[in-house]
Amino acid sequence: MRFDSRKFLLTGIGLLAIAYVVTCLLLFFRQRYFIFRPTSQFLTLPSSPDFKLPYKDERLPIANSSEYIHGWWIQAPSA
């Protein structure tokens, strides 16, 4: 029985092509679940008992707009 390298190579390339197409289809049809959609409600604060982090509310104004970006400044712990 002789090992046929050409058949082995074509089978490998075919399997890789099938795996690639299946991965592309999976990503295409499931892409809406990979997008992060934040909520406007705070579920917990950095000062909650789970984290116990001191923080400062920060509001950064957006240029040429009356809107701002809200965030928390959490100081890095001293070494």
**3 state SS of 3:** coil
* Residue 44 pLDDT class (50, 70, 90 cuts): confident
H-helix or E-strand containing 71? Answer: strand 68-73
Q: What whole-number distance in Å separates Cα of residue 12 and Cα of residue 6?
A: 10
Cβ distance 45 to 55 under 8 Å? yes
Name the band, by pLDDT with cuts 50, 70 and 90, for residue 79. low
* DSSP letter, residue 65: S
* Lowest pLDDT segment from 43-52, 54-63, 66-75: 43-52
| Sequence-separated contacts (24+) of 37-42 with Cβ below 8 Å | none
User: Can you give the pTM of this predicted structure?
Assistant: 0.46
